[in-house]
Amino acid sequence: MDVYVIGYASHPPAEKVLTKRLEEMVYDTSAQALRAAAIERTELDHITIAACDELDGRSISNMLMVAPAGGYLKDELRVTDSAMVGLHLAAMRIESGRYHLGLLASWNKSSTAPFEDVMRMRCEPFFTRPIGLNATIADALFAQAQCAAGIASESKATAQSANLQHAAASNPRGLKRKAATADNIASSRYVATPLREGHCAPVTDGAVSVVLASGEWLKHHPQAKPLARIAGIGSAIDHYYLGKDRLVGLASFKEAWGVASRQANVRSAQTLGAVEADCQTAYQALAYASTLRLDGAPSFCPSGSVFAQNPYFCAGLINLIEAIEQVRAAGPAQQSQTRFAAAHGQHGFAQQGNVVAVVERV
Amino acid sequence: MNRNVAVIGTGETVFRSHHPDKTYVDLAQEAVVAALRDANMEPAGQEGVIEAATIVSAQFENLPKPPYCIAYVRLDGVSTAMVNFVKEFDMSDLQAASVRVKPGARVKVKWIDKPEGKATDFYYVLA
């Protein structure tokens, strides 16, 4: 793909951003990304927004968010699934040849909206909503199915969570929370069996903006320094109901991974410098690592992934930043093989949708 | 079409301009059940197998008071799993209870006394 990241910014991590309105968070982040790319907003020929009205806590939120995101009087498109779906769209817009310099903006300020209520209302109204699913309960169903399939166990999840929290504690872009010990995780309360509180990454507030450019634009602007090339990107979605095949198969993750790695001409996950996966729970981390044959590998989530910070909706773009930092040899737990790295984002109940991007050093 | 496709059963509601006594769920159900019976098929068995289950032990806003168990159950004779509560078993020991509802466990459908046309008209109990 002839698409490059030339700048990015992420809002300082916070469990809750109490001193700024959402508009201010997003404005600050987009402005910082433009400064990092050393371009003016007027130079942009398009903007892509990835955001969710429900998590913003209001309807038609975009009406208020386009301008602070940088989209005033710009050709703007928006997706509502996840930030990584936004990255896919933004990359495709440039790959089309019609656009050359764009800004992607995404955010999550779920401290202003009841996160689990939002997720519960995503159930269809007749069969699942009266029973009451939410993100945590769907994650627990996934965890149990993975245990039944022999891929995960409670003790493995506890060890995985401890590892992720340990990595997250030293991530300079994370919240730098003190890592819980395995004993603390194992004795934390169950939220929904077999999922314990210590197995879950708490949702935080955050915002991410990324500046993307075409190879052609870079040719005409030699002073611009690309940070990484988007070498491949794949997106897939699974069916809605959470039966055994869906929870064990990881079909959409495998599909997204396959497309992205084929585009990037990457043969296996083991050849990547880092794989930053969106693991909302330690059970998801075990499942992804097992699928990619990266069990216990230091290249799997060296940043601590969402255990460092977890702005749920834009967590995949945080992973993108971490993957870019790896290929730039500036990761928090720098890996040795760093020509390629991958970032992953998921959305929907029990990772119904998955997007994978492979970035390459330039 | 490259493959032969056959209609093996049909069902319809009674033809009438209004059905004030029935919800649209009732109407759809009437037609579907009639079509299945016409094809000598049963809608679904009254027993099935758990495909995924969890015992919720945290209190979430607008959800039931914990602990409660929900499970995706594939009823006999159908190919997709349907979610509902699993009730009438001891959940005081979460770990022991979660073993009883592990994937593969068999359950039975139990109907409430006064169905209201809702998903909660039935629940599962361990077989």
- DSSP letter for each residue of A109-171: -GGGS-HHHHHHHTS-TTTTTTT---HHHHHHHHHHHHHHTTS--HHHHHHHHHHHHHHHHT-
| Contact partners, residue A188, CB within 8 Å, separation at least 6 | A180, A196, A197, A198, A199
* Contact yes or no for A148 and B57 at CB 8 A: no
Contacts of A117 in chain B (CB under 8 A): 61-62
In this prediction, residues B6-14 reach a mean pLDDT of: 95
Contacts of B92 in chain A (CB under 8 A): none
Contacts of A145 in chain B (CB under 8 A): 51-52, 103
**Which pLDDT score is estimated for B55?**
98
B1 pLDDT tier (thresholds 50, 70, 90)? confident
- Which residue of A lies nearest to B62 if distances are taken between CA atoms? A117
d(CA A239, CA B37): 28
Helix pair angle (A282-291, A251-264), 10° resolution: 50
Q: B85 touching A, CB under 8 A?
A: yes
Amino acid at A87: L
Query: For the segment A73-123, what is each residue's pLDDT rounded down to a tens digit?
Result: 999 999 999 999 999 999 999 999 999 999 999 999 988 888 999 999 989
Q: A277 touching B, CB under 8 A?
A: no
Of B57, B69, B58, the C-alpha closest to B107 is: B69
d(CA A358, CA A234): 9
Task: Say yes or no to pLDDT of A333 above 80.
Answer: no
Query: For the segment A122-164, what is each residue's pLDDT rounded down to a tens digit?
Result: 898 888 999 989 999 999 999 999 999 999 999 999 999 999 9
* Contact yes or no for B52 and A190 at CB 8 A: no
For the question of whether the overall pTM of this predicted structure is more than 0.90, the answer is: yes
ipTM rounded to 2 decimals: 0.90
Q: Please return the burial class of A125, using the count of CB atoms within 10 Å of its CB with bins 0-12, 13-18 and 19+.
A: exposed
User: Percent helix, strand, coil in chain B (nearest 5)?
Assistant: 20, 30, 50
* Residue in A132, A190, A243 nearest the CB of B63: A132
